[in-house]
Amino acid sequence: MSFITRGFGGRSRDRDERLPPGQTLVHDFPVLSAGPTPEVDTADWAFTIHTETGVDHRWTWDDLMALPIEDVSTDIHCVTHWSKLGTSWRGIALDTLFADVETGYDYTMAHSYGGYTTNVPLDDLLDGKAWVAFEFDGEPLPAEHGGPARLIVPHLYFWKSAKWVRGLDMIERDEPGFWEQNGYHLRGDPWKEERYW
């Protein structure tokens, strides 16, 4: 009996409380891309928020760099069961990008250079929950991890963090993006294990 008690207690103490259910810690940084890495030069890069009003809000690389830059330290969780704790990024908060955007729509579709898409409710992008990130670990974001810039939405599974992001379309109703059309959950909260649907 004491053996079972000790073993069980040991396991629960070892389990990091920052680790969502079904996740395992990694110390490397796996690369998960559905296709080839697009080569995007910052000189050609732009980020556009498109709304139902027809007004586009567009930032070139220089426009982006002129905005308030934030340091972000956060845990990330991939649906394929790896988590990485305390990752450090620099980027621009979506709150900053949405400051002058007027929309009556509650959902967004993120679009990437290379064609990847993923749907994210607007609420999951605001109030300090998401960034357009261009540095990882104090270095420019490597191309295989989404450089020059990617979305990070760390409180949702990492497939929502679109690499090589080029913009967001405001949409009236929630619609599945690339992985969501292939069976991934529409929202993807790792604490609720919203993996598939």
Ligand X SMILES: Nc1nc2c(c(=O)[nH]1)N[C@H]1C(S)=C(S)[C@@H](COP(=O)(O)O)O[C@H]1N2
- Which tokens sit at 90? 């620099």
> Which of Mo ion, ligand X, none lies near 30, with the C-beta cut-off 5 to 8 A by kind?
ligand X
The answer to whether 32 contacts ligand X (rule: CB under 6 A) is yes
Q: One symbol per residue from 115 to 154: x for binding ligand X (CB under 6 A), - otherwise; what is it? A: -x----------------------------xx--------
| Span from 10-18, 25-33, 53-61, 90-98 in contact with ligand X (CB under 6 A) | 25-33
* Chain centroid to CA 24: 19
- Which tokens sit at 12? 């629960």
The answer to whether 34 contacts ligand X (rule: CB under 6 A) is yes
For 82-121, strand residue ranges (E) read: 82-93, 107-112, 117-121
- Which tokens sit at 116? 């990847």
The answer to whether 159 contacts Mo ion (rule: CB under 5 A) is yes
**What's the alpha-carbon Rg for the chain, to the nearest Å?**
18
- Do residues 97 and 50 make contact, with C-beta atoms less than 8 angstroms apart? no
Q: One symbol per residue from 154 to 173: x for binding ligand X (CB under 6 A), - otherwise; what is it? A: ----xx-xxxx---------
Cα(24)–Cα(194) distance, integer angstroms: 16
Per CB under 6 A, contacts with ligand X among 54-113 are 78, 112
Cα(119)–Cα(107) distance, integer angstroms: 7
> Nearest approach, Cβ of 177 to ligand X (angstroms)?
10
* Residues at the interface with ligand X (CB under 6 A): 29-34, 78, 112, 114, 116, 145-146, 158-159, 161-164
